[in-house]
Structure 1
Amino acid sequence: MSVLLIEAFYGGSHKQLVDLLREEIEDCVLFTLPAKKWHWKARTAALYFMQTVPASSDYRILFASSVLNLTELVALRPDLGKLKKVLYFHENQLIYPVQKCQETDFQYGYNQILSCLVADSVVFNSAYNMESFLSSIGKFLKLMPDHRPKCLERMIRPKCQVLYFPVKFPDVNRFMPEHKLAHNGAKGNGNTCPFMSLPFQEKNYETVGLTKSCSSDQGSADSKTETECCTPLQERLHNLLTTPRGTIQETPSETFEQGMAQRSRPQAFLAFPEIPGELDCQQKPLHIVWPHRWEHDKDPESFFKILLKMKQMEISFHVSVLGETFTHVPVIFSEAKKALGSSVLHWGYLPSKDEYFQVLCMADVVISTAKHEFFGVAMIEAVYCGCYPLCPKALVYPEIFPAEYLYSTPEQLFKRLQNFCKRPDIVRKHLYKGETAQFSWAALRGKFRSLLTTEPKEDL
């Protein structure tokens, strides 16, 4: 194996990237640690991999995310230090927003600086990530009381490059509602959805999970028709948006605690709010989706504050709250779920990618209120599924999305959502105006292949 992939936090976008590289790049071997207790992984992963990664003369390249303390690993394993060392930054700790100033741990940012110094190539998932890291090195090191090192930015910058996170998209046509297919020039009929060519769709990508059932306990779908292999969640979401009130059987919602206890199964909490009469698809309440990690840096408080204000004003909308949870879940989630009541369509993490994309396809608007974002895979995936994005005019978002989709203040976000709720047809007829092809695996494949190839060093 010529490429040694090491991921100290094997979850979310970190997992997506190394899984994609292992699938698409020849001669890769992957070693990982679970996506739990991030701070401990950042502190101790090097020691674990020192003992776990076997010695091999076949390695030529070491690829790791910046969670790993690369400096410690190459010191503990001199054989790995001889490889071409590529460090990939999904985020950087120099500008991470902490809830309290005293919570700042100097060591995490310091480790990333050291790792850059020993790496041969330092790769960032966005220009915002790279520049915010490099320009913050001097200020960050001023936290040291004395004997501060100098010129580190000048030493690190020549190694740096931007290589956007590569997103490999499945064909989600069969999950699309009629209005999304129609305004993209396709015609749907009943339960079958023809191919919809989105600006950055991977036409040659096949996902077994899209033609088979999502998990083993649902049985094989090999002999089923396309309609029959739709998952229960897809059917419920489709029925909600296409069937008049009174023809859908309501089911009691699970509690928040039950949902968290059963995260290993793709349980969907669905509620069915009042939908008057025979409304066509353009008149049904706006469906808002929030697909981010349930952590403070994504600022769920601001998001729910706006939704609760609209709820108090009796503005009609639906909301789906997706995203992974970790050890500490902000209390606002349980409070907001109860307060939003019948406006909630889905609540909780969906381990199945099929069901995750189904929810995105049925949504109209995707929202970010993040205070910490260096790329935003979830936002790109939602746009791919036909959602209208609304993002802060800050962080990485101006680099990714046109100005039309950015807001400057929570008040602006509220006003735009309020207007969309009054006229959801405007959103549903909208064609996304951004350029998204640059974020696809098809566009980035060659650059990643070049990054992960090298001539063997003489001393290997």
Structure 2
Amino acid sequence: MSILLVEPFYGGSHKQLVDLLQEELADCVLHTLPAKKWHWRARTAAVHFMQAIPASTAYRVIFSSSVLNLAELIALRPDLAPLRKVLYFHENQLVYPVRKCQERDFQFGYNQILSCLVADVVLFNSSFNMESFLSSIPTFLKLMPDHRPAGLDALIRRKCRIYYFPLRFPDVSRLLPEHKRARCAGVVGPVGPQELGPPGDCPHSAEGLAQNTMPRASPGPDSEHGAPSPQHTGVPQSPEENYQRRESVAPPTEGGGKQSNTSHCQVEEECDDTASQQRPLHIVWPHRWEHDKDPELFLTTLLKLKEEGLSFQVSVLGETFTEVPDVFSGAREELAARVLHWGFLSSREQYLEVLCQADVVVSTARHEFFGVAMLEAVHCGCYPLCPKALVYPEIFPAEYLYSTPEQLRKRLRDFCRRPDRLRRHRVKVDTGQFSWSSLRSSFISVLSASTSKDQ
């Protein structure tokens, strides 16, 4: 087997995925372009790869993100046409937010549709990503003045599968503060060990990671998004099946959220940890400094909490690019005494350490198709607060979602007043279902199938 990995935007989650595949799967060849000026990567990468990819009879599969115009590359390199063509959507351009409607470039979305038509298999990192793309195709094509093609959404849907983004969760138990280690060990408050689970059940430890990523023997709440079961090899084989399983095997909790095997304890009223009571709430925001992540909402919320005289500390992490929203500079000055970290942390170890020390991780995104940063923070013991929109209801139970800016502010206000209660809570999100250990067999399967000619 020879897998041709092609990534026109080699950065962030795009880089994470192809690096993981190259490291874990045998006989992969990787061709990339730097993660700069993605608009130009989407427009011109095919011509670059036409010249950069050497001819070879060993190739059997080509795997690329949807930034590449796969149709152009196959037209320019007809020798690649017989390969099994696998396209992976980290995001889709049909619903990608733009600041003004007229700024949306028709060509980017159109290129992704063409790539889907050429591909043999189209993978999405979430149900939300897939459904938002497919349901938007008919409306999107109405932008064409005439001779609009019909039925492309149905044609593409039959090729689609949901393959959650695979994460390699590190063992962060050594970085956890005392109260997070204590709740893993089952020694916080009056909740009994059986409710908390044994020490090895801690999802942050090496033993806990192994337990959380072990293949399950039967269908259950954990297998709905990718854990193996007798009928499934890691990922549902069709989107319809995924939705049926999600509805049938995820009974709601009292608050309407989904249950999970990592669900252990609720927030308790009493707490004997004096230090935990006295230390201010630590809020972390680990996202790109761009408008689609809505830093304005997050920082405005913090400034309102400050005006109310509430005590908290904040770490604003994430990458910055050419244009940084103005709100960051002003907020940095106003929050100065409360800031623990401000800006991108180049050290992975330091980044994980900040997540482990934080209490709450907040998303204010107006665009999110998966959310690697939120899941990494949850793995490090953070309580997640996410919009009740986009991909988040697919991943997080209802108790971790907010519907309005007022709800976000109220939740953070309550946490600022009683951070000890928050620190006793065991987050009920099964991160194991998104681990590479759970999803590996599915990726191997889709990348080791027959060539396009053999199908």
TM range (shorter): 0.7 to 0.9
1:281 matched residue in structure 2: 276
2:62 matched residue in structure 1: 62
2:327 matched residue in structure 1: 332
1:321 matched residue in structure 2: 316
- Counting only pairs closer than 5 Å after superposition, residues 33-432 of structure 1 correspond to structure 2 as 33-185=33-185, 197-199=201-203, 203=207, 280-432=275-427
Aligned length: 383
CA distance in 2, matches of 1:110, 1:44: 14
Cα offsets for 1:209-244 (capped at 9, x unmatched):
xxxxxxxxxxxxxxxxxxxxxxxxxxxxxxxxxxxx
| Residue 450 of structure 1 pairs with residue 445 of structure 2 | yes
1:4 matched residue in structure 2: 4
Of 141-150 and 357-366, deviating more is 141-150
Cα offsets for 1:181-229 (capped at 9, x unmatched):
0011178xxxxxxx974448665999xxxxxxxxxxxxxxxxxxxxxxx
> Is 2:280–2:312's contact at 8 Å kept on the other side of the alignment?
yes
Aligned AA (2:104):
T
CA 1:204–1:31 in 2, change beyond 3 Å: closer, same or farther?
farther
Alpha-carbon distance, 1:329 to partner? 1.1
The 3-state SS of whatever aligns with 1:57 is coil
The 3-state SS of whatever aligns with 2:114 is helix
CA 1:35–1:395 in 2, change beyond 3 Å: closer, same or farther?
same
Aligned AA (1:349):
F
The 3-state SS of whatever aligns with 1:32 is strand
> Is 1:169–1:202's contact at 8 Å kept on the other side of the alignment?
no
> Is 2:82–2:453's contact at 8 Å kept on the other side of the alignment?
no
> Is 1:186–1:196's contact at 8 Å kept on the other side of the alignment?
no
Cα offsets for 1:56-77 (capped at 9, x unmatched):
1111000000011111111111
Unaligned runs of 5+ in 1: 188-194, 207-277
The 3-state SS of whatever aligns with 1:345 is strand
CA 1:405–1:458 in 2, change beyond 3 Å: closer, same or farther?
closer
Alpha-carbon distance, 1:279 to partner? 6.1
> Is 2:83–2:453's contact at 8 Å kept on the other side of the alignment?
no
The 3-state SS of whatever aligns with 1:140 is helix
Alpha-carbon distance, 1:409 to partner? 0.2
Alpha-carbon distance, 1:457 to partner? 5.9
Alpha-carbon distance, 1:321 to partner? 0.7
Aligned AA (1:420):
F
> Is 1:200–1:437's contact at 8 Å kept on the other side of the alignment?
no
Alpha-carbon distance, 1:368 to partner? 0.2
Alpha-carbon distance, 1:406 to partner? 0.2
2:192 matched residue in structure 1: none
Cα offsets for 1:48-104 (capped at 9, x unmatched):
111111111111000000011111111111111211000000010001111111211
Identity %: 67
Cα offsets for 1:103-141 (capped at 9, x unmatched):
111111000000000000000000010000000000111
The 3-state SS of whatever aligns with 1:95 is coil
Alpha-carbon distance, 1:324 to partner? 1.0
> Is 2:301–2:409's contact at 8 Å kept on the other side of the alignment?
yes
Alpha-carbon distance, 1:455 to partner? 2.7
Of 384-393 and 79-88, deviating more is 79-88
The 3-state SS of whatever aligns with 2:91 is coil
CA 1:84–1:457 in 2, change beyond 3 Å: closer, same or farther?
closer
Unaligned runs of 5+ in 2: 188-198, 211-272
Aligned AA (1:390):
L
Instruction: Output the TM-score relative to the length of structure 1.
Output: 0.80
CA distance in 2, matches of 1:422, 1:30: 51
The 3-state SS of whatever aligns with 1:389 is strand
> Is 1:169–1:201's contact at 8 Å kept on the other side of the alignment?
no
Alpha-carbon distance, 1:154 to partner? 1.1
CA 1:373–1:456 in 2, change beyond 3 Å: closer, same or farther?
closer
Aligned AA (1:113):
I
1:436 matched residue in structure 2: 431
Instruction: Output the TM-score relative to the length of structure 2.
Output: 0.81
Alpha-carbon distance, 1:379 to partner? 0.2
Cα offsets for 1:141-199 (capped at 9, x unmatched):
11111111111011100000001001111111111101000011178xxxxxxx97444
The 3-state SS of whatever aligns with 2:333 is helix
CA root-mean-square deviation: 2.1
CA distance in 1, matches of 2:39, 2:353: 33
